[in-house]
Amino acid sequence: MTAQLTNKCIGFIGVGVMGSSLIKALLTTTFPANQICILDKSEEKANQVATAHKVEKQSISHMGQNCDVIFLAVKPQDLGDVLAELSQSLKSETLLISIAAGKSTKFIESKLSKKNPVVRVMPNTPAQIGKGVAAISGGLNAQPIHIELAKQLFAASGAVVEVPEENQDAVTALSGSGPAYFFYFIESMIKSGVQLGLTNEIATQLAIGTITGSAAMLQESGLDAATLRKNVTSPNGTTAAALAVFADKDLEKIISEAMAAARKRAQELA
């Protein structure tokens, strides 16, 4: 744990999949559980997370008065009401970190009575195992020290990049929603393997091994994806036959349209 995080009170409003994943990641970096407090509209969920991670449940007014950093990890449609309540007790120096898809720092700032620093972040679900990637953008009152603090907090859950806020909806379409695209593709590979005669167990093992090995090659070889694809594609071979089907169905266009739809939905959530 860095000096900048020492003795910081960290609050989480919302402890769903991403909120609880970030808590878990922080705790793996020896961040003390007694410096984390939580709140969720589902009492059952809050109790589960509090018990699992030995963190304390608190009221929204307690967080506003005591926390140095507050994660806004609620659904986008709930964010306005949460901010209206939080603003009543919020210290002016408290850093707000929002992971609500589509909601701009300007929207958050407009709901506050003070000029709190706000940082917008789009993480993704591999944060659950410390393999996530998060894109962060600072709001009007966020200074370099606030950006650095946010980076340190998200570094516990994976890689962190800083982007202009106008790119956040594109980030949502690529890496925020991206794990679901990946899992859908693997589902289809496994089903196709079974249709071709493999058992589900063997098809699953082969698909997962292929994908994880390929990802490792992409990360460690120093070569880009296009080069690695060409290296495994022999002229008139089996891979070329499969890729020809992708090209014929215009897979690239399908992916482009899917990501454009995700970005459009993020913009609608604003």
CATH number at residue 155: 3.40.50.720
Element (H, E) at 79: helix 79-86
Q: Is 101 flagged in the annotation as binding? A: no
Q: Is 189 flagged in the annotation as binding? A: no
- Using the 8-state DSSP alphabet, how is residue 173 labeled? I
Q: What is the pLDDT of residues 182-224, one digit of tens each?
A: 999 999 999 999 999 999 999 999 999 999 999 999 999 999 9
Q: What is the pLDDT of residues 227-238, one digit of tens each?
A: 999 999 999 999
7 band by pLDDT with thresholds 50, 70 and 90? confident
242 band by pLDDT with thresholds 50, 70 and 90? very high
Residue 65: pLDDT above 80? yes
Residue 5: pLDDT above 80? no
Residues 13 and 100 in one domain: yes
Q: What is the pLDDT of residue 62?
A: 95
- Select from 118, 137, 165 the last residue of a domain: 165
Residue 2: pLDDT above 80? no
**Cα-flanking dihedrals φ and ψ of residue 118, to 5°?**
-130, 135
Structural domain of residue 220, as residue ranges? 178-269
Question: Is 89 a member of any domain?
Answer: yes
pLDDT, greater one: 89 or 1: 89
Instruction: Extract the tokens encoding 30.
Output: 């020896």
6 band by pLDDT with thresholds 50, 70 and 90? confident
Residue 3: pLDDT above 70? no
Task: From residue 156, give the alpha-carbon distance in Å to each of 14, 29, 105, 123, 150.
Answer: 19, 7, 23, 12, 11
59 band by pLDDT with thresholds 50, 70 and 90? very high
Question: Is 219 a member of any domain?
Answer: yes
| Dist. CA 229–CA 62, nearest whole Å | 54
Q: What is the pLDDT of residue 192?
A: 98
Residues 26 and 141 in one domain: yes
Residues 124 and 80 in one domain: yes
Q: Is 69 flagged in the annotation as binding? A: no
Residues 112 and 223 in one domain: no
Residue 31: pLDDT above 70? yes
Task: From residue 70, give the alpha-carbon distance in Å to each of 140, 200, 256, 257.
Answer: 17, 44, 35, 35
Question: Is 206 a member of any domain?
Answer: yes
Strand-pairing partners, residue 159, are 133
**What is the number of structural domains in the chain?**
2
Residues 65 and 88 in one domain: yes
- The residues, ordered by sequence, that sit 6+ positions from 161 with a Cβ below 8 Å of its Cβ are 133, 134, 135, 136
Residues 161 and 182 in one domain: no
Question: Is 200 a member of any domain?
Answer: yes
Q: Is 130 flagged in the annotation as binding? A: no
Q: What is the pLDDT of residues 119-150, one digit of tens each?
A: 999 999 999 899 999 999 999 999 999 999 99
This prediction's pTM: 0.89
- Select from 135, 165, 195 the last residue of a domain: 165
94 band by pLDDT with thresholds 50, 70 and 90? very high
Q: Is 14 flagged in the annotation as binding? A: yes
Residues 133 and 206 in one domain: no
Q: What is the pLDDT of residue 9?
A: 93
Q: Is 74 flagged in the annotation as binding? A: yes
Q: Is 76 flagged in the annotation as binding? A: yes
Contact, 150 vs 97, CB < 8 A?
Answer: yes
Residues 13 and 131 in one domain: yes
Question: Is 170 a member of any domain?
Answer: no
Diameter over CA atoms, the chain: 68
Residue 1: pLDDT above 60? no
| Dist. CA 108–CA 110, nearest whole Å | 5
Q: Is 193 flagged in the annotation as binding? A: no
